[in-house]
Amino acid sequence: MSLQIGVPREVFPGEKRVATVPEVVEKLVKLGFRVAIETGAGDAANFADDAYRAAGADVVPTAAELWARSDIVFKVRPPTPAEVALMREGGMLVDFIWPAQNPELMQQLAAKKATVLAIDALPRQLSRAQKMDALTSMAGIRATAR
């Protein structure tokens, strides 16, 4: 049985990013993952549900369904307490989590027995970590969007 990756719609006001794009979904599916996207998750970033479907993702109607069925959740912004409540016990979260700045959130995730991969904690500008340097790439996106 393959692992289910879920990508919810970002709930932070004004957030236009989405945690993955159809091109990456296609690669994840080829690697053997199942991918689910909450309907409308990519709309603000100009990625329609149909583009995710064409890449092999299942588009689900609600955040509750997405969180409940996902082994791994990809997000851009840290989850809200309501999102943590939806998370499966023992699930995994891959996110910009800022653990030192969010001790209450970390306690909530620990209570869910979640494994958290804090993308913001990865090293920057090292050749071996270059492909995973999300902070630099996000800074470039924000600078371009202004």
**CATH code of 34's domain:** 3.40.50.720
The total domain count for the chain is 1
Give average pLDDT by consecutive 10-residue segment, the chain, 146 residues: 94 95 97 97 97 98 97 96 96 93 95 93 60 48 39
pLDDT at position 125 = 58
Domain limits at 124? Answer: 4-145
Sheet holding 58-60, edge to edge: 58-60, 34-38, 4-7, 72-74, 92-95, 115-118
pLDDT at 143: 38
On the 0-12 / 13-18 / 19+ scale of CB atoms within 10 A, 46 is exposed
Cα separations in angstroms, 4 against 70, 88, 122: 5, 12, 23
Tell me which residue has tokens 């289910």. 4
